[in-house]
Amino acid sequence: MARGNERFDSFARRMREGFIALNQGRYGMDELGKFLLSAAIACMVASFSHVRLFWFLSTALLLWELFRMYSRNYPARARENSAFLRKTEKQRAWFSLLDKRWTNRHTTRYIKCPRCRKVFSLPKGKGKIRATCPHCHKQSIHTT
């Protein structure tokens, strides 16, 4: 029985070393890659509705992600990722604020400024307070 374990350990070690050698010098996963992978999985799930377009789209997204992940052209992949990050900055900020609001929901109240519509935070449980917007400096009264 011990001999079978030794063979398996040897096989696993060789597979691990081969995988490391294959990925040496490759670009790997970045934010655009994570988005492409998530979109491909969503399209795969949608393809269960027997709409072939979703299957083709998920295959194309996976192939694009694999191409990017195993590419050795670092500057081109980094440019693609930075362009993606620039274009999705507002959406990522919105999700970040949503996460922050959920995390601090017991201690903080988030208010929209009546003038500039930016969101700022106030401590909960202080009653009626006069708050100054940190963006446009307009004062307003809010109940926390």
pLDDT digits (tens, 9 = 90+) for 13-64: 999 888 888 778 788 889 999 999 999 999 999 999 888 899 999 999 999 9
Calculate mean pLDDT across residues 86-98: 93
pLDDT tier, 82 (very low <50, low <70, confident <90, very high otherwise): very high
**Is the overall model pTM greater than 0.85, yes or no?**
no
Q: Which secondary-structure segment (H or E) carries 82?
A: helix 74-87
Cα 92 to chain centroid, rounded: 8
How confident is the model over 96-134, as pLDDT tens digits? 999 999 999 999 999 899 899 888 989 998 889 999 999
Check pLDDT > 70 for residue 1.
no
Burial of 36 (0-12, 13-18, 19+ CB in 10 A): buried
How confident is the model over 2-14, as pLDDT tens digits? 566 888 888 889 9
65-72 long-range contacts, CB within 8 A, separation 24+: 65/33, 65/36, 65/37, 65/40, 68/27, 68/30, 68/32, 68/33, 68/36, 69/26, 69/27, 69/28, 69/29, 69/33, 70/23, 70/26, 70/27, 71/26, 71/27, 72/25, 72/26, 72/27
Position 3 scores a pLDDT of 64
Side chain identity, residue 71: S
